[in-house]
Amino acid sequence: MSEKIVQEAIANKKMLCPKCNSPVQRYEKYADTVDLVRDGFNVQEIYSTSSRVTLICGNGDCKWEERTEFWDAYIEDGD
Ligand SMILES: [Zn+2]
13 Cα–ligand 1 center, Å: 13
Note whether 27 and 51 are within 8 A (CB).
Answer: no
Q: Which amino acid is at 29?
A: K
Note whether 20 and 2 are within 8 A (CB).
Answer: no
37 Cα–ligand 1 center, Å: 37
18 Cα–ligand 1 center, Å: 7
In a domain, residue 79? The reply is: no
Give the pLDDT confidence of 17-70 residue by residue, as tens digits: 999 999 999 999 877 666 666 666 655 555 556 678 999 999 999 999 999 988
- Domain housing 26: 3-73
In a domain, residue 14? The reply is: yes
The whole-angstrom separation of Cα 15 and Cα 52 is 15
2 Cα–ligand 1 center, Å: 23
In a domain, residue 15? The reply is: yes
In a domain, residue 78? The reply is: no
Q: Which amino acid is at 25?
A: Q
Report how many domains make up the chain: 1
- What predicted TM-score, i.e. pTM, was given to this entire model? 0.74
